[in-house]
Structures are given as structure tokens and as C-alpha cells.
Structure 1
Amino acid sequence: MADPITSRSRRGAGDTDAQITRGRALPRWHYLVALLAGAANTLSFAPTPHGGWLELAIFALFFAWLTRTTGWKSAALTGGAFGFGNFVTGVWWLYVSMHDYGGMAAPLAGAAVVLFSLYLAVYPALAAGVWSFCAGHARHGAADDRLPRLPRLPFAPTWHGAFAFASAWAIGEWLRGTVFTGFPWLASGYPQVDGPFAGFAPVVGVYGVGWVLALAAALLVQSWIALRSARRTTGLRNGSATGSGNGFVPGVAAIALIVVGLLLPLAHWTTPANAPLTVRLLQGDVKQEMKFEEAGMRAAIDQYQQMITSKPADLIVTPETAIPVLAQQLPAPFASAVRTFSDKTGSAILFGAIGGTITPQGQVVDYTNSLFGVTPGSRDVYRYDKHHLVPFGEFVPWGFRWFVNLMSIPLGDFARGAPVQKPFLVHNQPVSVDICYEDIFGEEIARNIHDSDTPAGVLVNSTNLAWFGDTIALDQHLQIARMRSLETGRPMLRATNTGTTAAIDADGRVLGRLKPYTIGSLDVTVQGTSGNTPYVTSGNNTVLAVSVLLLAFGFAFGPGLRRRRG
């Protein structure tokens, strides 16, 4: 690990930080190493087993690399390089949807992935730049006035610097998940579902887990540098090593965070509620290109009719738009078969289709991506309309129609459902449903539970990831779903077209899964829960409030300000 000391040349105690900073331009390979570290961080996400431990090591390297920088500009560039390396290797599967299925020319699709990754990298760059200011980075010297021959440090990690790093990182990730409808994919908390900090998820959510990860990494680096510096100064003073004691404290604090994270799962925030449900999750493996053809649509409807009615269960779930037609235009044989099967077997059925409103003039308006539910003995049909739509997939952002026109996908603007919608009742067990991309927004799922008159005890995600091929996107999405279970203390059921169809218990463990790109059903029994985790109660408010306060405190009272006043 690189030494943060700027040079071995002798300088007087009167040298200013600005003089040292101007004399120490970082080499270009510094940013290349940051980019490679970001690319390596992709390996900490699924499908890597226990990737949370690898992520902790990579974040420690990343923070140590930040301490080499000499100002907010180089810090921001280092953070941006790290982020770009992470995103361009972590979301490359967007190329598949644009090129393989969208028909966009390969160079344009590749360029689009690169440009999108550059945009996403703005947020870690912003976090690193904010950390630089609020940690007093490059605004204070670390030279000991009693040792004038020692070179001055542009930055030495401190307690407030570690907290500033964690806070700036968490706010940066929250902004990435919020601005322009948000894209929180690859949030740093996700690998921790199998890492040391999973226990913090029901307390502070995925962004809070990222906060704890960043703090632990920074404290480990602080301890390592302090102990290394203590050994050097002890040798020069030819005295006792009393300074090394202070160096151990941050390391002990980091280990304490790990221990707490490992012990927190012993706390149970929710309790079992209502009778367990038998569930069948269907995976039709319908080829994506077939959904645009009349023959393919008929084949998909026939296939799912047969799969739904082949075996009863308390709850049967199909993937997103498994029935790729308007709900009012469902083929009569399908509607009759599903209704009859539900009434005879006591099975509740959720199927994906297109919603819409037909005007008196016969026009269809307000198309929605929806789930419809049929319950035994009832003529009422449950409906859930997707609220958080996918940019370029379900609505076209203003000014980007030209981009959509480069692809041969029949895209349009869908109407949005309400932010909080009623749950689907299955034998008195409320079930909260969401569609595809919606489950990457944990705060919205938590709000749907917290604000509902009938809080759900089971989560269901119906999705279609065929757009992204047999790529790491499938495993990454499953990992995201596991985080939602940890945050809410509720089981999550996933019915997908091509994979990964899976059932997850309230502790984030995978109960069963189907092999991707196969046709089949996953039969499981799940136990619903009741009660609110701290995260369901407060959402992201806790981590955001703490982060803002710590950054403000660091900026106002950090060593940079003390030096200016001294």
C-alpha cells in the first residue's frame, strides 16, 4: 500500500500545504489503479459467494488510494475512476438489451454503456470530492513541529475523516438512486447480504450498510497508517512507542463494527403471522423476440394457461407480462380456465398483463404494466399498476426520443400507478407486489408496507430479465431481492421469465431457485411475517440525517479550519 508522504526531500516547517500540493502532481497510473480497483469491486457482487469480505478489502484499498490525493480535484478524479471501473464492468449487460434485442448498432450500444457508466461515476466522484472538503483533506499538515526535518503529509486519516468518507459515500449512493428517477444498481451494500455487515440492513437499509462498510474500511486504513507512522517517529525519537496505542483504536473500532454486523442477525424485528402459504412460481422461458409476434403471443398464453392450471397452490405467480395482451382482450379460453381452476382448487393467481383504459370511443389510453389477481370464489379482479417506470423502457425521458428511435423495440409511455397500492390478499395473508425494476428501490417497498392500511407479510416480485440475456444481471437482481428481505424482515418471491426465479425467506436466505433459461415451476412453502423493522419505520431518513450532520460537523470543526484559525 502506498505511503501517503509526499516526498523524501527536506522541507522547513514553514512550507505551506499549497506549495507541497503544487509540487506533487499525481501520475496518471494513480487513476488507472483506481479504475482497476473499481473493476475488481464488481467481483464482490453476485454471483461471487461471500463477496462482502472482498468488498471490504477493496474499499480499504480505495480509501488508502484517496489519501494519496492532494486536493478535492484529484480526490474527485480518483473516486470517478473507481466508479467508472465498477459500473462499466458491472452493468455491461445493458449492451445486450440495446444491441441484441434493440437492434442498435454495436458501436452505438457500446458507446451508450460507456457514457452511462461515466454518468454513474459522477456520484462516487462527488462523494470523494465532498469527503476531501469535509475531512480537512489537503488543508492541513501532519508534520510534527518538534520534528522539522520530517516531510509534511497532505493528509493523514483521522476519525472525522473516516466518518466523512462514510457519510459522503452514503449520500452519493442515495443521490444516484434518486436523481433522474434513480439507478441504485450496484449500491455498495448489496454484496453484504453474504458479508459481515448484513445485520445492519433491517436497521438502516442498503445505503446504511454501505455507510458502515465505508466507515470500517476507512478505520482500518487509519489504523494501518497510524501504526506505520508511529513506528517511524518512534525510531527517529529513539523513545517509547506510546503513539502506537492510538493507532490500534481505529482498528479495534472497525473490528467491533464487523462483530456487531455478525451478531445483529440474532435480533428478530418481525414475527411469523398467519398460516404458511404454498406457492408456485412459474418460469416460462419465453423467448423475448417471440413476444412481438402474433404467433409467439398465442403460444405464450397457451403455455402459461397450462402451467397455471397444472397444479394447485395457495398462490401461483407468473412473470411480468407473461400474458402479453391488454387485460380486456384476454382470450376467453384463458380467462375461463384460470377462473374455473381458481374456484375449484382454492388457488389465488397473480398474472402479468397489460392494463389500460378503454374510452367510450373505443380507444385505449393510459397503458400500464400491471399484475392482475384472481381469488377463489370472488368475481373481483385485483390490479397492481407499476409505479416506478424504467427510463427508455417504459417511458421516454424528455429530449431522448432520438435515442429510442435508434432501437427497433416497440416502446411507449406507460401510465404510472399510485406510490402506495393495496396488497393482494391470499387466505388472509396480505401480499405486496412489485414489478421488475421496482424492487431495487428499497425505500419504496418499505413505504408501501409502512403506509398501507393492511401491511403485507409477503413480498412478490414479477419480472422479465430476458432483455439482458444469460448475464450477471440475473444474479445481481436476485442479490438485490435478498437485500429487500433483510430490510423488511419479509420473505420475497420472484417469478421471472428466464431467471432467476427464486424464493427467499425473511432472513434473506434463498429457499429454492430454478435454473435460468429452463421451463418449470418452483414449489415452496413460505411463512409471512408482521411487524416493522427500523428501516421500514424510518426508511433512508436515519442514514441521511446522520451523514449530513457528520459532514457539516467535519467541515465546520475539522483540522482544516483549526489550522486556519491557529
Structure 2
Amino acid sequence: MRRPELAALLAGAAGVLCFAPFDLFWLAPLPWLALFALWRQAPDARRAALVGFLFGLGFFLAGVSWIYVSLSVFGGMPWWLAGPATLLFCTAMALYPTLAGWLFKRWQPAGFWRQALWFAVLIAAADWLRGWLFTGFPWLAIGYTQAPPSPLAGFAPLIGVYGLSLLLALSAALLLRWRVGLPVLALLLATGFGLRQLEWTQPVGEPVSVALLQGNIPQDMKFNPDNFVRTLLRYRDMIAAHPARLTILPETALPAFLDRLPPEYLDELSTLARQHGGDIVVGTLTGNPETGYYNSAVSLGSAPQQTYSKQHLVPFGEFIPAGFAWFMAQANIPMSAFSAGPSRPAALSVAGQLVAFNICYEDVFGEEIIRTLPQAGMLANLSNTAWFGRSLAQPQHLQIARMRSAETGRPSLRATNTGMTAIIDARGDVVSALAPFETAVLTGEVRAYQGSTPYIAWGNLGFLVLLLAGAGAAQIRRAASAAGSPAPGADARP
């Protein structure tokens, strides 16, 4: 392996340090600065594509290694199949920076400023494309490195996480010439800090007491029939010991179909909720062979029973893509054939509040979260990340949730099986959180918020306008500029 290719692989792996749990957000420009320098120095588009591929491979192998944990340790897949499957997935994700590298060199503009802008456009476009193509995998979009407390988080309510990817990549590229890059980065940080002081949304009504349950049920015991009654009793006792107006249990906390749960047990939970004039939202399974099976959140208590069913399903985890039944036969993943819930879900009216619920992986998709806003006053996520063990997945997921709050100006409630159970304020800061892999209840008081951020109103449209404007500015008169300038790649001075 040549020195540039090795540097790309190592720089990609180092990029993971900028995300949770390491949270070195201030380091984030450096790995992408290295990628920009390597692309500029590449002699042709093929070599730039190879550099992009190795950067992406190092990045995803280091960042989403928990996929192997879910397949092998908890999914029961033999290591000799889980290992190659994880490598194949990371290889597929690395194709996005591969394409970006090829495009950068194929249409590399003349002039440092245009090259930096073209680089930023391609990096941000790759993040955005990865977020929706083939159902989407937006995990580790580089904008997440700038979740609060980064000053750049001030831009989140305007242009969302992909807009932050654009700003970060531009800053990184400009730092190649530090006399130019440092003032630009300082200006962006100062502007972001100023935007963080704006109140896009306002609290409304009285605080509501909440209890978020972390049952800490081991994944290998979760669907074990011998552990079923013990699981139900654990959650019942936790609810009784921590009364609140709004109590939320994790995803599939009650590991059975709703109509197969003991009616007296559900009546007991409803009674506990009504004693405090509130509601309990439980993660469970709903549906039947005729209508399909759903991963759902169901309310019990003072309000009429309501159901939210997960609508953005995880490939292989919750549905089997066509032609891959043989692959899933090698794993022991229960309930991997769900149907998608309504694509335009309604917020649930619980504990006197309108709450926008989502389940597990769904809060990675910012434009889907805003479908029930601005009507809903808070966000709530039910997750079971026990599938990923003691890996990077849980802190990374909490960082994603913080970004959703920063984008929408809404507090977030996260009830998880093994972590990270947390209360996040409307600015995206963690108010309180439970230690992972402990059986505990997080209690607190949360106020709903009203109003709308630009991101709620426009979603990713603001980012896409910036992206197209940046692409146009980078490529305008490219051919004419190239006629009187050095060939692409020749201007590689730092």
C-alpha cells in the first residue's frame, strides 16, 4: 500500500474520534483536511477514488464495528459469516466517499477556493445521499460531530445535520491554507455561537413529571419464554416505585404481542397511570397475519389507548430484503419480518401533551422526525440497543438524539433497555442520563415547547439550496478558468 493510501485509511479511522463517546468535535476538521490534501495531490480520478475508498473503509470499520456484535454475539451468526458480512457492509458504505473522490478529481476546478468549495459540496452530498439511498444509513454523517456543545450546533435549527457536514468540510479544506482557513473557521464558530443564543421555540404549559425505564434485560434473555413473567414483573415494580404523569418503557419492553399479554397485567398498568392522572407508553408488538406485524409504542392510562407503529424499518433487523432469506437463516434474530407503520404518523396525546414518538433507528432521519411538528411539544424515542453490547452504538445514538433536539427546538425523552436513557433539553444538551447496563429509572420534569425552527419548516431544503449554490460556484467557468490555469491537481501548495 502506498503512503497516500495508508494515510487515507488511518485518517478515516481517526475520524471516529470526533464522534461520541470521544466527543473531540474540535478535532473534526483534521481528518477531512487530510482527505482534501490527498485528493488534491492524487494524479488522476482513479487514484482519488481509491483514496476515498480507503478513507471510508477505515472510517466505517472503526465507527460501526458494532454491526459485527449484533450479527455474531447476539444474532448467533457464525464468525466466519458475520465478519465478512460486516466488512461487506463497510465496503458498501465506503463507496460514497469513493464516488466523491472520483468526482472531485474528474471535475476539479482551478483555484484553491473553488477546490475547497467543491470538496465540501461532495462530502456533504455523500452524507445526504447515504441518508436515503437504499432506505438510508445516515449514521456517522460528519455533521453529528458538531452536536452540542460545539458552537457550530447553532446552525442546526437552520440547515440541519447535513448543513453542518457542509460547513465542517469547507472549514477543513480551507485550513490547508491556515491564513485563510483560520479566520473563516473563527467566523463560523462565532456565528454559530451567536445563533446558539437565539430562542427559536418557547416553553409552554407546566412541567410534566416523567419516568424513563431502563430495564437492562439481557438480549439473550429478552425473548426467552422462561424469563417472560420476570420481565413483566420487573417493569411493573419499576413503574409502581417511580410514579409520574408520563412513564415510557423501552422498545419491545413487553416482549409479546399486545393481544397476548395478560389482560389483568395491562389493567394494572393502566390503573397505576390513572392514579397520577397520566399515561404509560410501552414498547410492544402489535398486528396479526392479515394486517401485518408492527414494532409499536402503545399508551395505557388516562387518555384513550393510542398506538404508534415504527414506519422506517431496519434492513435485515426488521425486514428481509428480497433475495436475502438465506442470509438471515444463518442468524437468530427474532421478529425480523415487520410491516411498516403509517408514513404520516400522528403525535400521541399523553399526559396532557402531544408527543412525537419514534422507535430506535428512526431518529436518525431528521426529515421524518419533523412530520409531526410543530404540533408536538416534545420528542420521545424508545430503543433497545442491547443488540450492540458495550460498543460505540449507544453513545453515538445519544449524540444523534441531541442533534434532533437542536434541529427542532424540542426536548427529547429516551427510554432504552440498556442505554443511553436520557432527558435532552430543547437546545440539544443532556439534562440527565442513566449509566448504561444498569437497571434504573430516570425521573425528571420536562416542559413542552411550541414554535418552529427553520428546519421544522423546510427540512433539508435549506441545505440543498446551499449545496446547489456551492456546486454552481465551484464549477462556474471551470473550463474557462482551466484554460489559463495549471492543470487540475497542479496547484497543490499548502
TM-score, structure 2 normalization: 0.94
Letter matched to residue 401 of structure 1: A
1:210 aligned onto 2:165: yes
Distance of 1:253 and 1:321 partners within structure 2: 47
1:84 aligned onto 2:3: no
Letter matched to residue 203 of structure 1: L
The structure-2 alpha-carbon separation of the partners of 1:184 and 1:369, relative to structure 1 and needing over 3 Å to count, comes to same
Q: How does 1:225-304 map to 2 (within 5 A)?
A: 248-304=179-235
Q: Name the counterpart of 1:125.
A: 98
Letter matched to residue 442 of structure 2: L
Q: Name the counterpart of 1:514.
A: 434
> Which of these residues, 436, 446, 471, is aligned with residue 370 of structure 2?
446
Q: How does 1:180-199 map to 2 (within 5 A)?
A: 180-193=134-147, 194-199=149-154
Q: Name the counterpart of 2:491.
A: none
Letter matched to residue 351 of structure 1: V
Q: Name the counterpart of 1:10.
A: none
1:175 aligned onto 2:129: yes
Distance of 2:2 and 2:181 partners within structure 1: 31
Distance of 1:347 and 1:534 partners within structure 2: 32
Q: How many percent of aligned residue pairs carry the same amino acid?
A: 42
Q: Name the counterpart of 1:311.
A: 242
Q: Name the counterpart of 1:435.
A: 359
1:426 aligned onto 2:344: no
Distance of 2:431 and 2:151 partners within structure 1: 21
Distance of 1:126 and 1:548 partners within structure 2: 18
> Which of these residues, 52, 60, 85, is aligned with residue 25 of structure 2?
52
> Which of these residues, 22, 32, 39, is aligned with residue 6 of structure 2?
32
Q: Residue deviations 1:40-60, cap 9 Å, x none? A: 1111111113x1111122222
Q: Deviation at 1:65?
A: 2.2
Letter matched to residue 190 of structure 1: Y
Report if aligned partners of 1:170, 1:543 keep a CA contact under 8 Å in 2: no
Distance of 1:90 and 1:565 partners within structure 2: 43
Secondary structure of 1:274's aligned partner: strand
Report if aligned partners of 2:269, 2:301 keep a CA contact under 8 Å in 1: no
1:71 aligned onto 2:2: no
Any gaps of 5 or more consecutive residues in structure 2?
A: 486-494
Q: Residue deviations 1:291-330, cap 9 Å, x none? A: 2221212221121122122232120000000011111122
Q: Residue deviations 1:148-184, cap 9 Å, x none? A: xxxxxxxxx5222221111111111111111110011
Moved more, 327-336 or 393-402: 327-336
Moved more, 286-295 or 174-183: 286-295
Secondary structure of 1:214's aligned partner: helix
> Which of these residues, 113, 116, 131, is aligned with residue 162 of structure 1?
116
Distance of 1:516 and 1:427 partners within structure 2: 27
1:524 aligned onto 2:444: yes
The structure-2 alpha-carbon separation of the partners of 1:256 and 1:546, relative to structure 1 and needing over 3 Å to count, comes to same
The structure-2 alpha-carbon separation of the partners of 1:296 and 1:561, relative to structure 1 and needing over 3 Å to count, comes to farther
Q: Deviation at 1:73?
A: 1.8
Q: Name the counterpart of 2:253.
A: 322
Letter matched to residue 217 of structure 1: A
Q: Deviation at 1:84?
A: 0.9
Report if aligned partners of 1:59, 1:217 keep a CA contact under 8 Å in 2: yes
Distance of 2:233 and 2:352 partners within structure 1: 30
Distance of 2:220 and 2:227 partners within structure 1: 8
Secondary structure of 1:425's aligned partner: strand
Distance of 1:110 and 1:507 partners within structure 2: 39
Any gaps of 5 or more consecutive residues in structure 1?
A: 1-26, 141-156, 225-247, 358-362
Q: Name the counterpart of 1:220.
A: 175
Report if aligned partners of 2:38, 2:48 keep a CA contact under 8 Å in 1: no
Report if aligned partners of 2:299, 2:350 keep a CA contact under 8 Å in 1: no
Q: Residue deviations 1:63-85, cap 9 Å, x none? A: 22222112222222212211111
Report if aligned partners of 1:274, 1:429 keep a CA contact under 8 Å in 2: no
Q: Name the counterpart of 1:369.
A: 295
Report if aligned partners of 2:299, 2:307 keep a CA contact under 8 Å in 1: yes
Distance of 1:427 and 1:105 partners within structure 2: 46
Distance of 1:447 and 1:198 partners within structure 2: 22
TM-score, structure 1 normalization: 0.82
Q: Deviation at 1:423?
A: 1.1
The structure-2 alpha-carbon separation of the partners of 1:121 and 1:335, relative to structure 1 and needing over 3 Å to count, comes to same
Letter matched to residue 12 of structure 2: G
Q: Deviation at 1:133?
A: 3.5
Q: Name the counterpart of 1:18.
A: none
Tell me: higher relative CO, structure 1 or 2? Use CA pairs within 8 A at least 6 residues apart: 2
Distance of 2:201 and 2:349 partners within structure 1: 19
Moved more, 344-353 or 457-466: 344-353
Report if aligned partners of 2:408, 2:452 keep a CA contact under 8 Å in 1: yes
Q: Deviation at 1:408?
A: 2.1
Distance of 1:79 and 1:288 partners within structure 2: 36
Q: Name the counterpart of 1:144.
A: none
Distance of 1:365 and 1:422 partners within structure 2: 19
Letter matched to residue 402 of structure 2: R
1:61 aligned onto 2:34: yes
Report if aligned partners of 2:152, 2:164 keep a CA contact under 8 Å in 1: yes
Moved more, 508-517 or 327-336: 327-336
Q: How does 1:77-116 map to 2 (within 5 A)?
A: 77-116=50-89
Distance of 1:544 and 1:65 partners within structure 2: 26
Distance of 1:384 and 1:129 partners within structure 2: 43
Give the root-mean-square deviation of aligned CA atoms: 1.7
Q: Deviation at 1:402?
A: 1.4
Distance of 2:273 and 2:189 partners within structure 1: 49
Distance of 1:483 and 1:276 partners within structure 2: 23
The structure-2 alpha-carbon separation of the partners of 1:333 and 1:529, relative to structure 1 and needing over 3 Å to count, comes to same
Distance of 1:393 and 1:505 partners within structure 2: 30
Report if aligned partners of 2:250, 2:416 keep a CA contact under 8 Å in 1: yes
Q: Deviation at 1:364?
A: 5.8
Q: Name the counterpart of 1:505.
A: 425
1:554 aligned onto 2:474: yes
Report if aligned partners of 2:249, 2:416 keep a CA contact under 8 Å in 1: yes
Q: Residue deviations 1:446-480, cap 9 Å, x none? A: 23315xxxx11110000000000011111111111
Report if aligned partners of 1:366, 1:414 keep a CA contact under 8 Å in 2: yes
Q: Deviation at 1:553?
A: 4.3
Report if aligned partners of 2:415, 2:422 keep a CA contact under 8 Å in 1: yes
Letter matched to residue 301 of structure 2: T
Q: How does 1:427-506 map to 2 (within 5 A)?
A: 427-450=351-374, 455-506=375-426
